[in-house]
A and B are shown apart, each in its own frame.
Chain A
Amino acid sequence: DFVMTQSPDSLSVSPGERATFNCRSSQSVFNRSNKKNYLAWYQQKPGQPPKLLIYWASTRESGVPDRFSGSGSGTDFTLTISSLQPEDVATYYCQQYYGRQITFGGGTKVEIK
């Protein structure tokens, strides 16, 4: 089983500042044959369903602002918001899709300082 661990649990950031949070997988999600990391990031605002932000660890979904970026490989990944906006207040989840059963991290809640 792939266990996804996110840190920190919550983060308070001033508007315009950088927000960085992490996701670690218990097993590598890197596929050597296609050189892709099977890792996605989602944003969930209160009362809304999740929204896909990033997939293949660093590919931004169409329409997602470029202040969102993903990095990392193997077991350690990072989502960065380069300049936090008030509308970015949400919980962010990572998800592995290397295994047949998808697993999500526990989430990082981002608040405005």
Chain B
Amino acid sequence: QVHLVDSGGGVVQPGRSLRLSCAASGFTFSSYGIHWVRQAPGKGLEWVAVISDDASKIYYADSVQGRFTLTRDNSRNILVLQMNSLRPEDTALYFCARGHSDSWYILDSWGQGTLVTVSS
């Protein structure tokens, strides 16, 4: 059974950094693209970034480009989102999600989310 566990959220001051992790199990991690999607409190979904199965392709939303870095370790089945220069508008529940086998841009399994709060 596909299992994604998001972790690393917390309260951080504006301008500081935070590192989120997504631990995967129940599938061949190295065969799937993985995304981060966030949801501000009471709001809709916003795509953040995606990394291909072999990490050769990484794309970011304009809102985080240059501040967030997405990496993966296929030997440990872990995805890491390094978030720098955080802003209050980055406050959200962050989900990692697996890309579908039909297209890595269809999100077929999601973690439960980890909450990031950016506040002074």
- A interface residue numbers (CB < 8 A to B): 38, 40, 42, 44, 48-52, 55-56, 61, 93, 95, 97, 100-107
Contact = CB atoms under 8 A, between A and B. Distances in A.
B112 A97 contact: no
5 contacts: A42-B45, A50-B95, A52-B100, A52-B106, A107-B45
A47 to B, nearest CB: 9
Question: Closest 8 CB pairs between A and B?
Answer: A97-B105, A49-B110, A102-B47, A104-B45, A55-B106, A52-B108, A107-B44, A106-B44
Interface residues of B, number: 24
Given A49-B95, A103-B47, A107-B44, A97 B108 contact: no
Contacts of A95: 45, 107
A101 to B, nearest CB: 6
B44 A104 contact: yes
A17 to B, nearest CB: 25
B-side interface mostly? strand
A107 B44 CA distance: 7
A49 B62 contact: no
